[in-house]
Amino acid sequence: MTGSLAAQRSAVAMFAAALSFLTLAFTQAAFADAEAGRHKAQVCVACHGPGGNSANPAVPTLAAQPQQFIVTQLFMFREGKRKDAQMSSFAASLSNADLNDLAAYFSAQPHAPPAHVTAPENVAAGRRITEQNNCVACHARTLMGQQHIPRLAGQQAEYLRAQLRGFKASTRFDMDGNMTSAAQALSDADIEILGDYLSGLGAP
Ligand code: HEC
Ligand code: HEC
């Protein structure tokens, strides 16, 4: 009980810290420099693909993600809240200006048309799951994301499944708890279908 209260307090403190950081980030966002970001991104595209369009099933596409989402995630990796054996070390030494410049660059890159083709039987089933579970309320009707909420359309299928399993098991950090809650209702079969459905979605 005490432990979970402490954990809750620490999550609330983290959320407050993130909000004040983000306020700072957006005061500075006007100065975010996508051209500087393009240079800084040279190290990133080795894994995330040219222009942030990943061809690796375990690595997310960054192209056309909302700018605020990219800044938030880089901040979480840098602060050690979100952890990944490959990604964490690349975020550790980034300055606030780097976060803003990299986010400005990747969010402005065109998303390549999805290479993934959804199995016909999962098109209607996937849409139904995203409507019944309000995914479309937060991630936007077209699932293109908004503000600090990621684009899901055209993301790598295996990456999407791994994140959903991570939220469900509370092993992926979640800034405000919303996504951990949203994942609880999903069965393993739902997660399989969602990976296939979301990954094949292109621009509306
Ligand atoms: C060695 C490979 C590698 C390099 C280099 C790398 N990343 Fe990553 N990145 C990953 C992996 C793998 C993930 C997914 C981590 C996970 O599963 O939680 C990731 C996740 C991310 C995410 C979260 C995206 C999302 O949809 O949640 C962002 C943002 C990101 N990386 C930005 C960057 C930036 C900016 C750089 C360069 C400074 C960079 N990465 C360099 C492998 C890499
Ligand atoms: C109440 C709002 C809300 C709802 C409902 C919601 N999400 Fe999310 N989702 C978020 C937020 C916020 C994040 C970013 C969480 C973070 O990293 O702090 C997120 C992150 C994700 C990610 C990680 C993607 C990435 O690139 O890292 C996936 C996958 C995802 N959501 C899928 C879904 C699916 C599928 C549903 C419906 C079953 C859903 N979400 C419902 C708010 C929501």
> Ligand 2: distance of its center to the CA of 150 in Å?
7
pLDDT band for 1, please (50, 70, 90 cuts): very low
Choose which residue among 87, 164, 171, 175 to substitute to test ligand 1 binding: the one with the highest number of ligand atoms within 8 A of its C-beta. 87
d(CA 47, CA 61): 10
pLDDT at 82: 96
Domains, the chain, with CATH or none: 2-107 (1.10.760.10), 120-199 (1.10.760.10)
The answer to whether 153 and 197 are in contact (CB under 8 A) is no
Task: Give percent above pLDDT 90 in the chain.
Answer: 83
Q: Averaged over 91-112, what is the pLDDT?
A: 97
What the block records as the tokens of 107 is 């969010």
What residues does ligand 2 touch, defined as CB less than 6 Å away? 60, 130, 133-135, 137-139, 148-150, 152, 155, 160, 163-164, 174-175, 178-179, 182, 186, 194
> Ligand 1: distance of its center to the CA of 92 in Å?
12
Taking the CA of residue 204 as centre, how many other CA atoms within 13 Å lie in the half-sphere pointing to its CB?
A: 8
> Using CA positions, which residue lies closest to atom 11 of ligand 2?
149
d(CA 172, CA 91): 16
> Using CA positions, which residue lies closest to atom 41 of ligand 2?
135
> Minimum mean pLDDT among 5-19, 58-72, 186-200: which range?
5-19
The owner of tokens 């999805």 is 114
pLDDT at 203: 79
pLDDT band for 97, please (50, 70, 90 cuts): very high
pTM (2 d.p.): 0.92
Query: Given phi > 0 = left and psi -120 to 50 = alpha, else beta, which region is 115?
Result: alpha
List pLDDT tens digits, range 30-62: 678 999 999 999 999 999 999 999 999 999 999
Task: Give percent above pLDDT 70 in the chain.
Answer: 85
What the block records as the tokens of 38 is 């393009």
pLDDT at 108: 97
List pLDDT tens digits, range 114-156: 999 999 999 999 999 999 999 999 999 999 999 999 999 999 9
> Ligand 1: distance of its center to the CA of 5 in Å?
31
Average pLDDT, the chain: 91
Q: Three-class SS of residue 100?
A: helix
